[in-house]
Amino acid sequence: MNVAFLMAPEGVEQVELTEPWKAVKGAGGTPTLVSTGSGTIQAFHHLDKADTFPVDKVVGDTGVSEYDALVLPGGVANPDALRMDERAVAFVKGFFDAGKPVASICHGPWTLVEADVVRGRTLTSWPSLRTDIRNAGGTWVDEQVKVCTAGPTTLITSRKPGDLKAFCDAFLAEFR
């Protein structure tokens, strides 16, 4: 199981990267940090700088065909930057076009909204995204984790770091 973790160079909520990463590795999978720039990404604990992590692949130099699934960690700045990068948005949309599972937590669905892949789907997120999701044609629910099987792509979403255990359990079940 090869899993792409897509992030901007700055702004990812560290625990929303590290816990799903550990879950993929623990299940025998291979996580790959994909970003819009090379070098390292700067993670955060809420608004405070945390650790940096090395980028494995740049989004313009890799393709959906190299992965079995996609994880979109949150943090406020991370998905906000991703949704402004055409290559990142196309990369996300490519997983839906290929029918490959996608997991997204917290503010991560902002990138899904930009990729125009939430229409007709039910998902959860950080509560401040509910209007964006509804305006994009999705149904927002306040649940710990939501697995939506509408369409050929399974979408697994979660609200916040407190939901990480349920989120990881749910996406691993779908990614296998």
Residues tagged active-site:
107
Q: Return left, alpha or beta for 11; rule: phi > 0 is left, psi -120 to 50 is alpha, else beta.
A: left
Nearest to 13 by CA among 55, 74, 104: 74
161 within 8 A of 106, measured Cβ to Cβ: yes
Strands across the sheet containing 40-45: 10-13, 40-45, 48-54
CA distance 24 to 134: 30
31 within 8 A of 1, measured Cβ to Cβ: no
CA distance 108 to 62: 20
DSSP class of residue 116 equals T
